[in-house]
Amino acid sequence: MPADETATITATPAATFPQPKLSNGHWQNLEAAHTSGVYSKRPLTIVRGAGAHVWDDAGNMYIDCVGGQGAANLGHCHPAVVAAVQKQAAQLLSCPEIFHNDQRAQLLQRLVELAPPGIERAFLCNSGTEAVEAAYKFARASTGRPAVISAKRSFHGRTMGALSLTGQDKYREPFEPLLAGVTHVTYNDVDALAAALTNQTAAVILEVVQGEGGVRPADPQYLLAAQRLCHEHGALLIIDEVQTGIGRTGRIFACEHSGVQPDLLCSAKSLAGGIPIGAVLIGSRVGALPTGLHGSTFGGNPLACAAALAALHALQFEQLPQRAERLGSALMQTLRAADLPGVREVRGLGLLIGLELKSKVTPVLQALQARGVLALPAGNTVLRLLPPLVISEEDLGCVQHAVVEVLRSNL
Ligand SMILES: *Cc1c(COP(=O)(O)O)cnc(C)c1O
């Protein structure tokens, strides 16, 4: 199927879904009464999605540039993923890794095939933070060294190991003291990285584009220098592709842009087309990992594996990485040329796009929502656009129009 036809893919027709009966804030009040409180929520109840569209409980449609916070690269309810999940749900839902499984075996093979050169094996888990946690443990165990170097402004997840690697005080401070042995260096600064590496460094962990940290792409030369420095010091290079992977930046994995070869590559978010999953791809420089070293009850479960197989097939079949590259670079070019007041910089890679504003992003997000476009922040002043890669050119044109209109208006 040519890439442009992806826009015509639709999920199950709306008529077959039972419409929620209670509106007027019923679900919001119910959630507010019982939720933990750790999330700041928008006053919007999303009840359905198809492709790049979502609907609220009053039936209003939005163009979704939140993209499941990175979990909806294939669009909502991609028909191939839905079909695979339905089929597998009736076949076998859980199967711990004390047994072999047909879906898992195929996914492990596929992941190693699609991975950058040097990757030989994979470990499956259930989320991004778990993938980072596992990569951290594998690096410590494999090298026998205690220290890890990460970047300032990085985001690697919320469990205590991944949080220790995360380079943002706002996430870290309530939980200090965190793991010892973690140093945070300035991103894109080769000299700073070289100065921090020692013979006690187990690993360096980097994102190819810092997502949460403000949509900041790495200089390709920086990533290659990090690889070289890791090799020189006997350390492992962990690349966190939880947000940049699965086609988002114009390649299946964003490592492919620079040719950097990670020893451990973390994937999650869109890997199973919206079903929870995480994976660590493991390279030849990682030593053998002994039985019992790590594990997860739900890791490698047949449902997530079947969904991931369908998602990876659709990603390639519909040429979604190519689509992300083409649509993303055109959108960035247009937004730069528009020379919008209040915008310091437009940056990104593929369809991972950030607009650094001169003021707070919240009013911009609200104004976009009022125009039917949902988007994300990345920090206080960066507007982040993460549309599903299946978004039609027409819808992306609407997003562009809304962004230009909102940023030209006096908020
Ligand atoms: C989202 C994200 C994580 C954490 O993933 P979860 O599935 O939310 O635990 C880790 N690293 C990066 C780069 C991310 O964007």
Residue 294 within a domain: yes
Residue 285 within a domain: yes
Residue 152 a catalytic site member: no
Residue 234 within a domain: yes
Residue 306 within a domain: yes
Amino acid code (one letter) for 48 = R
Residue 305 within a domain: yes
pLDDT in tens, the chain (411 residues): 344 444 444 444 444 555 555 567 899 999 999 999 999 999 999 999 999 999 999 999 999 999 999 999 999 999 999 999 999 999 999 999 999 999 999 999 999 999 999 999 999 999 999 999 999 999 999 999 999 999 999 999 999 999 999 999 999 999 999 999 999 999 999 999 999 999 999 999 999 999 999 999 999 999 999 999 999 999 999 999 999 999 999 999 999 999 999 999 999 999 999 999 999 999 999 999 999 999 999 999 999 999 999 999 999 999 999 999 999 999 999 999 999 999 999 999 999 999 999 999 999 999 999 999 999 999 999 999 999 999 999 999 999 999 999 999 976
Q: Would the CB of 132 count as within 6 Å of ligand 1?
A: yes
Listed residue (154, 142, 171, 150) closest to 288, CA to CA? 142
Residue 264 within a domain: yes
Q: How would you label 308-333 residue by residue, b for 16+ Cβ within 10 Å and e otherwise? A: bbbbbebbeebbbbbbbbbbbbebbe
By most ligand atoms within 8 Å of CB, the mutation choice from 165, 209, 243, 266 for ligand 1 is 243
Q: Would the CB of 241 count as within 6 Å of ligand 1?
A: no
**Side-chain half-sphere CA neighbours of 91 within 13 A:** 15
| Overall number of domains in the chain | 1
Q: Would the CB of 64 count as within 6 Å of ligand 1?
A: no
Residue 391 within a domain: no
By most ligand atoms within 8 Å of CB, the mutation choice from 129, 158, 171, 296 for ligand 1 is 129
Between helix 102-114 and helix 302-317 the angle, nearest 10°, is 40
Residue 170, domain extent: 80-317
Residue 269 a catalytic site member: yes
CATH code (residue 184): 3.40.640.10
Do residues 72 and 274 lie in contact, with contact meaning Cβ atoms separated by under 8 Å?
Answer: yes
Ligand 1: centre distance to CA 69 (Å): 9
Residue 368 within a domain: no
Entry pTM: 0.94
Which atom of ligand 1 lies closest to the CA of 210?
Answer: 13
